[in-house]
């Protein structure tokens, strides 16, 4: 799997070396789908923000992004609504009358006409022509039961359009690329890997912990789970494993759960209700500084998912020196399985045993944390932005050839 030919994050170093040219660059208008700017930041929006922040830092005095003899002139197109943390150099066009999916499908393609359109949050307008879209995973096929049927049907419809138009596609891992090829039928040459970064976690000032966690730090400590309550997140197994661990280790850390439910995506069949469990602390959705503060002080991140396209909380925790106990998945192996304690996703006893190891072996914890920091250092937003720019350059060149 590591030999995936369109892994642009690996190719970017060689392409960067050939970018200097004596001829003036071709200027290509680049429209960026800014729908994510008015949404609450979860994993998908975090990737979009990381990529755009890295691209925004590269915009030169002429307002251009240079890549492989092409100069992109970027502008952000955003729907109506309150914008959160906009880019500083990329201009934003706010002429929209609509919001949400209606804006993306009706207004965005008109506003982006004549430009190459970059979409970073899975969805793209059906009517726009030249597009590059970041598709995070193949979950609507591989774990279809986790998603609301309307959400699942809409995403599959979008994927058919991407395939028929021959759009260039970005995704977050070699595993996701293989899955999208297998389930959605995307052509090999159209799939490009742009692995997310995690270095944003180092940019937040130290933030006080929520009061319940501050008390836990002074006493028994806590494990943390970051994610929604969707079925494939496998929360029920983690809760059951924690209960079993407490039976043999009554003073073991508490279990802190962070994340919302997102019933608009995952429907009403959420994972098990553990609201009556005294050993579980629910904090819901938190902002980035608070989440980082919690990971810095956690005894371990528990990552129990049975399917993931990438696993951003894994690399964020590794970057912060937080031990990781994760289900044995292809993405865990791709990120760095030697930095984690792993368990079969459906085996609560195995997870409980790994938690006991984390509690009992501080030297091994230090070793794993050191490996995790090394793995995390390889996931930067600059490298991700390189991969995105390389893919955009390929899309622009093909567009030029078609119109020549």
Distance CA 91, CA 74 (A): 8
Residues 332-338 have a mean pLDDT of 94
What confidence score (pLDDT) does residue 25 get? 79
Distance CA 286, CA 304 (A): 20
Out of 3.40.50.2000, 3.40.50.11260, 3.40.1000.10, 3.40.50.300, select the CATH number for domain 201-377.
3.40.50.2000
pLDDT at 24 over 90: no
The least confident of 15-24, 28-37, 62-71, 103-112 is 15-24
From residue 43, alpha-carbon distances to 84, 285, 314 in Å are: 15, 12, 12
Residues 338-355 have a mean pLDDT of 96
Residue 110, SS3?
helix
380 contacts: CB under 8 Å, gap ≥ 6: 197, 198, 199
pLDDT at 94 over 70: yes
- Measure the CA angle with vertex 338, ends 227 and 236; round to 5°: 30
Q: Cα dihedral sign for 378, 380, 382, 388?
A: positive
Residues 345-362 have a mean pLDDT of 96
Average pLDDT, the chain: 89
pLDDT at 227 over 70: yes
Does residue 1 contact residue 178 with C-beta atoms inside 8 Å? yes
Residue 70, SS3?
strand
The ranges of the chain annotated as CATH 3.40.50.2000 are 8-197+380-403, 201-377
Q: What percent of the chain shows pLDDT beyond 90?
A: 75
Per DSSP, the residues of 288-334 read HHHHHHHHHH-SEEEE--S--SS-HHHHHHHHTT--EEEE--HHHHH
Distance CA 115, CA 288 (A): 33
What are the residues facing 170 on neighbouring strands?
A: 134, 192
The least confident of 252-256, 292-296, 397-401 is 397-401
To which H or E segment does residue 215 belong?
A: helix 211-218
Pairing mode of beta strands 65-67, 26-33? unpaired
pLDDT at 289 over 60: yes
Out of 3.30.70.1150, 3.40.50.2000, 1.10.10.10, 1.20.1530.20, select the CATH number for domain 8-197+380-403.
3.40.50.2000
What confidence score (pLDDT) does residue 377 get? 96
pLDDT band at 5 (very low <50, low <70, confident <90, very high): very low
Span 172-184, pLDDT tens digits:
999 999 999 999 9
pLDDT band at 212 (very low <50, low <70, confident <90, very high): confident
Place of tokens 């290509």: 28
Span 274-288, pLDDT tens digits:
544 568 999 988 889
pLDDT band at 268 (very low <50, low <70, confident <90, very high): very low
Tokens linked to 30: 């680049």
Does residue 267 contact residue 337 with C-beta atoms inside 8 Å? no
Does residue 77 contact residue 31 with C-beta atoms inside 8 Å? yes
Span 132-159, pLDDT tens digits:
999 999 999 999 998 889 999 999 999 9
Q: Cα dihedral sign for 257, 263, 265, 270?
A: positive
Residues 15-31 have a mean pLDDT of 68
Span 378-404, pLDDT tens digits:
999 999 999 999 999 999 988 776 665
pLDDT at 95 over 70: yes
Chain length of the chain: 404
pLDDT at 298 over 60: yes
């Amino acid at each position: 799997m590591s030999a995936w030919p369109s892994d642009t994050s690996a190719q970017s170093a060689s392409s960067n070396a050939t970018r200097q040219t004596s001829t003036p660059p071709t200027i290509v208008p680049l429209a960026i789908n800014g729908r994510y700017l008015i949404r609450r930041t979860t994993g998908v929006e975090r990737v979009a923000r990381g990529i755009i922040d890295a691209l925004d830092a590269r915009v030169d005095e002429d307002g251009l992004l240079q890549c492989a003899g092409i100069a992109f002139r970027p502008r952000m197109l955003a729907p109506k609504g309150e914008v959160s943390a906009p880019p500083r150099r990329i201009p934003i066009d706010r002429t929209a009358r609509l919001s949400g999916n209606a804006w993306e499908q009706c207004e965005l393609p008109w506003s982006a006409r004549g430009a190459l359109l970059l979409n970073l949050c899975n969805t793209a307008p059906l009517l726009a022509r030249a597009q590059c879209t970041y598709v995070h995973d193949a979950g609507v096929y591989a774990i279809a039961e986790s998603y609301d049927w309307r959400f699942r049907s809409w995403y599959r419809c979008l994927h058919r359009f991407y395939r028929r138009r021959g759009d260039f596609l970005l995704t977050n891992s070699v595993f996701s690329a293989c899955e999208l090829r297998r389930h959605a039928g995307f052509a090999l040459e159209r799939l490009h890997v742009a692995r997310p970064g995690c270095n944003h976690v180092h940019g937040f000032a130290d933030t006080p912990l929520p009061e319940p966690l501050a008390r836990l730090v002074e006493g028994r400590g806590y494990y943390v789970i970051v994610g929604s309550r969707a079925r494939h997140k496998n929360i029920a197994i983690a809760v059951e494993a924690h209960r079993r661990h407490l039976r043999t280790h009554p003073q073991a850390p508490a279990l802190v759960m962070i994340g919302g439910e997102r019933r608009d995506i995952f429907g009403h069949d959420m994972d098990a209700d553990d609201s009556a469990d005294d050993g579980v602390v629910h904090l819901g959705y938190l902002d980035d500084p608070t989440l980082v503060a919690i990971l810095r002080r956690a005894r371990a991140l528990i990552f129990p998912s049975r399917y993931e396209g990438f696993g951003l909380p894994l690399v964020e925790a590794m970057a912060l020196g937080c031990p990781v106990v994760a289900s044995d998945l292809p993405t865990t192996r791709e990120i760095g399985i030697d930095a984690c304690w792993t368990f079969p996703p459906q085996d609560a006893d195995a997870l409980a045993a790994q938690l006991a190891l984390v509690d009992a072996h501080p030297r091994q914890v230090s070793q794993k944390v050191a490996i995790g920091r090394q793995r995390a250092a390889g996931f930067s937003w600059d490298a991700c932005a390189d991969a995105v720019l390389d893919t955009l350059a390929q899309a622009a060149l093909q567009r030029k050839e078609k119109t020549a």
